[in-house]
Amino acid sequence: MSLLANQSASSRFVWPEWATLPLVGGGLVIFAWVIVGLTVTSWAPFDPVKLAGMRFQAPSMEHWLGTDSLGRDVLSRTLYGVRHSFPIAVFVIGCAVVIGCTLGAIAGYVGGWLDGVIMRFVDITLSFPPILLAMAVTASLGPGLGNAAIAMVIVWWPIYARLMRAQVLSVRQREHVEAAVASGATRSRVLIKHILPLCWSPIIVNATMDFGQVVLLAASLSFIGLGAVPPTPEWGQMISEGAVQFYRWWIALGPGVAILSIVLASNFLGDGLRDYLDPRAA
């Protein structure tokens, strides 16, 4: 980043190849939210769960996004919301990538009955509409953000398993793998040293794009009442409070824009990454 700032003064500045508008723009939005999440406790205008003024105040100089049904400051609650959404999204994507890629790589490289078993699980899991599966899992584990996160891992891992398997299957056909096998490398060495390093770019692109989708689904589950419970300042939960009072538009405005900004940013970031990592797929 400092590179950008220093060189923009010089008239000969040439943007580095990776610095496309979607990538930088999307990255900046995500980065800004991370900073907000890490520091908001020390500068938020009000406490997110305490009374901050009269109830149902429209936006004003004091409360930029107004107050909700309990007189809490909507702006502060929106800013605090990222402290719930981001850790969950990181957890869900992290677990889904680790589980999915491990199983997908095994399925693709080992093949045989193991491949069959793993992929049938993938097929069955992907046969559910994501939100219904997530709802069923959360309902059976009991409502709560943690259980919603587990439900989303269950929804998401098969996507990465399928992706990784396809990657491994295509990379193992290449000549350098054949050469490695011919020169006597062990199977695990071939997989780890010669195949996996070439498999990551679509995984990274997908994980980036899915980040926003996880934030969205987590908020949806909370909106339905299966995720965060009051008084947690979680975006979906806040919107569901706003839904009861939909003629008081400001209650849901902050969290809605927050979710939108993150989904858009992660889409742009993913698009930009794909163009950079794999120009042919664009």
The residues binding another protein (CB under 8 A) are 120, 123-125, 127-133, 135-142, 212, 216, 219-220, 223-226, 236, 239-240, 242-243, 246-247, 249, 252, 255-256, 259-260, 263-264, 267
Nearest to another protein of 120, 187 (CB atom): 120
Least Å distance, CB 87 to another protein, is 19
Alpha helices in the chain, H assignment, sequence order: 2-7, 21-43, 74-110, 112-126, 130-141, 145-171, 175-182, 187-189, 200-224, 235-244, 250-277
Least separation in angstroms between CB 79 and another protein: 17
The nearer residue to another protein, 130 or 171, going by C-beta atoms, is 130
Minimal distance, residue 181 CB to another protein, in Å = 30
- Residue 73, strand partner residues: 67
Of residues 191 and 207, the one with the C-beta less far from another protein: 207
Nearer to another protein among residue 32 and residue 139 (C-beta):
139
Q: How far apart are CA 20 and CA 23, in angstroms?
A: 5
> 59 by DSSP, 3-state: which?
coil
Minimum Å distance from CB 156 to another protein? 14
